[in-house]
Amino acid sequence: MKWTLGILLLASLVFVWVEREQLYVRDPLASVTENGVERTGVQVYLNYNNEVLLEQDHPSFQLRLMQRGNHVGVPARIKCIHWVACLLDAPLATLVEREPLTVDAMDARHIAFHDANGMQGLVTLR
Each residue's pLDDT tens digit, 49-103: 888 999 988 777 888 999 888 789 999 999 988 889 998 988 888 898 888 889 9
17 pLDDT higher than 80: no
User: Mind giving me the DSSP string for 62-112?
Assistant: -EEEEETTTEEEEESSEEEETTTEEEESSSS--EEEE-SEEEEEE-SSEEE
pTM of the model: 0.84
Domains of the chain: which residue ranges? 2-124
